[in-house]
Chains A and B, each alone.
With several copies, the nearest count.
Chain A
Amino acid sequence: SPIRGPIQAADPDPIRIAVLKFGTVNWELDTILHNGLDKANGFTLEVKPLAGSAAAKIAFEGGEADILVSDWIWVARRRATGADLVFLPYSKSVGGVMVAGNSPAQTLADLKHSKIAIAGGPLDKSWLILQAYALKNGMDLKTSTEQVFGAPPLLHQKALTGEFGGIVNFWHYLARLEAKGFRTLVSVNDAARDLGLDPDIPLLGYVMKGDFVREHADRVRGFAAASRAAKKILEEDDTAWERLRPIMKAEDDAAFEKLKAGFRAGIPDGQAVDPDAAARFFNLMAQLGGEQLVGTATTLPDGVFVDVGGW
């Protein structure tokens, strides 16, 4: 036919990321997509929504996704067994132990003999740090309290009905609790600082395979830049949050504000991770979590934190 449309510019190469459908990462990813930050940085973002964190790991291990959100302790564990995974910081948000607004507890010691709910299981990093902190202050948290492990949303709901003396959960659940009048008894950041650790090390991040980073360095760099740019928008622009509101599923304004504040507080400062600080952190984790947590890694393996330049 004689008339042809303009030749469509081919989409740039994709980056596939597996995330929880309503996870907090989506806020950043949605901002990237909405603002075209992916195309602007030379890649096409493909978000694969999944129903559980396990699903994301399967997708990643099975080669269905290039990026996964997890913590760097796990990356270190996997690296120690020979898996070539690297970590790109995403958030330093951590929780703490929260109690109901009307709870008489003022310090960890007041939780003695009460039930503490821990969403992440016995190897939850917040829980491990809190244990170390308590121990340093003369209390064996593990033996002097009763721990209840369970699915995060279930524990969240049960906390609301006052079933626990305290709860350790992921930060966005805790933000919602805070909106309901709960208060932080001890924050993990304070505990870490008390233990001489650097609380600014982002625990959560984007995990990628080493091969992928090496072979598609441009794309990864673009992704890092897009992430950075999205965070900047979210840090400064309240209207961007209004747009995200439907996918945040905040039950009310208070929760919305707490979630917004929590996310902002968790934005990393952009500095490269200090390897010594990380090593110290890892050693403590190895000590507390044991082989079950860190596997065969006794010290932090090299190369966990990816250097994408310009981060």
Chain B
Amino acid sequence: MSKPNNQGGASGFSRISPAALLFPFLFIGVWYVAAGLAGNETTFPSPVTVGKIILAEARSGALFIHVGATLARVAAAFVIAMAVGCAIGLWMGRNRGINRWGDPWLVFFLNMPALVTIVLCYIWIGLTEAAAITAVAINKIPMVAVMMREGARTLDPGLNDMARVFRMTPAARLAHVVIPQLAPHFASAGRAGIALIWKIVLVVELLGASTGVGFQIHTYFQLFDVGAVLAYALSFIIVMLVVEYLILQPWERHASRWRNAG
């Protein structure tokens, strides 16, 4: 048992690292220099140009409408996909029979092109938000399921036995035996998941929405307005960075503090 130095007892949340706080400056600096070297505002706009576009879009309100619309879709699809995906993944990971029958379907849906699912959802359900979110969820569920299934397979049988012997309730087992072990898988499914979902939402918005970051990015791409494309892409990335540092990482630190304390 390794016991790296650390305070005894369980400590709480900690702060955002200075490295993360420095990142925006570092990033903009690198970008500024690179853009200067490239010297082509059309294909490689400088951060100043893009910043101005972001400001202009924000002032007109368009930015918030589109980022908001995309965020709402991402959030809805994320919640659905994680819930359903985790359930399927855990079930398949713990039950060989289910896994044997479900596995080819999982592989099938995992490799179904987003485009096809999206088109079919739009055609069958209609050009509605429900269709968009369903399409994204269908794309994402198999991935979450695959990741959680791997997690479920690695569950410590010793702890499982312990929970059985002491007749822990299903809820307690889930909360105190299963989820802590799955936390790393959950974190990577969540993180990779949001990223994937947002990529799919872009396609969804390309194919059938009149709002959203994806809609804007593709519209500006038609005009080859790289600055505006980057402005929208960046706005969303900023939102995701905020989510990462204000929600995901504190949660993760909290969930894994036993590892660093032990």
Asked if A and B form a direct contact in the complex, defined as CB atoms under 8 angstroms apart, the reply is yes
- Chain B nearest Cβ from A206, distance in angstroms: 16
Contacting A61 at CB < 8 Å: which of B43, B206, B209, B216? Answer: B43
Residues of B within 8 A of A (CB): 41-43, 119, 122-123, 126-127, 205-210, 214-219, 221-225
Residues of A within 8 A of B225 (CB): 249, 295
- Chain B nearest Cβ from A148, distance in angstroms: 6
Cβ proximity bits A266-309 to B, threshold 8 Å, 1 near / 0 not: 00000000000000000000000000110100000000000000
- Chain A nearest Cβ from B230, distance in angstroms: 15
Residues of A within 8 A of B206 (CB): 51-52, 54-55, 151
Q: Does the CB pair A62–B224 fall under 8 Å?
A: no
Contacting A59 at CB < 8 Å: which of B42, B127, B214? Answer: B127
Complex Cα spacing A163 to B210, Å: 16
Known: A21-B219, A157-B224. A151 touches B208 (CB 8 A): yes
Residues of B within 8 A of A64 (CB): 126-127
Complex Cα spacing A249 to B43, Å: 17
Stretch at the interface among A37-45, A74-82, A96-104, A219-227: A74-82
18 of the cross-chain contacts (CB-CB < 8 Å) are: A22-B219, A49-B219, A50-B208, A52-B218, A53-B222, A59-B208, A62-B127, A64-B126, A81-B41, A121-B218, A149-B210, A150-B122, A150-B127, A151-B206, A151-B221, A158-B123, A249-B223, A292-B219
Contacting A157 at CB < 8 Å: which of B41, B42, B215? Answer: B42
Q: Does the CB pair B208–A58 fall under 8 Å?
A: yes
Total number of A residues with any Cβ neighbor in B under 8 Å: 43
Q: Does the CB pair B123–A149 fall under 8 Å?
A: no
Q: Does the CB pair B219–A122 fall under 8 Å?
A: yes
Contacting B126 at CB < 8 Å: which of A63, A149, A151? Answer: A63
Q: Is A231 an interface residue (CB 8 A)?
A: no
Q: Does the CB pair B127–A57 fall under 8 Å?
A: no
Q: Does the CB pair A154–B223 fall under 8 Å?
A: no
Known: A55-B206, A78-B224. A149 touches B215 (CB 8 A): yes
Known: A51-B206, A57-B224, A154-B207. A121 touches B123 (CB 8 A): no
Which of B42, B127, B217, B221 has the most CB atoms of chain A within a 10 A radius of its CB?
B127
Q: Does the CB pair A157–B123 fall under 8 Å?
A: yes
Q: Does the CB pair B223–A51 fall under 8 Å?
A: no
Q: Is A20 an interface residue (CB 8 A)?
A: yes
Q: Does the CB pair A154–B123 fall under 8 Å?
A: yes
Contacting A58 at CB < 8 Å: which of B41, B42, B207, B214? Answer: B207
The chain A residue sitting closest to B214, CB to CB, is A51
Q: Does the CB pair A51–B215 fall under 8 Å?
A: yes
The chain B residue sitting closest to A65, CB to CB, is B127
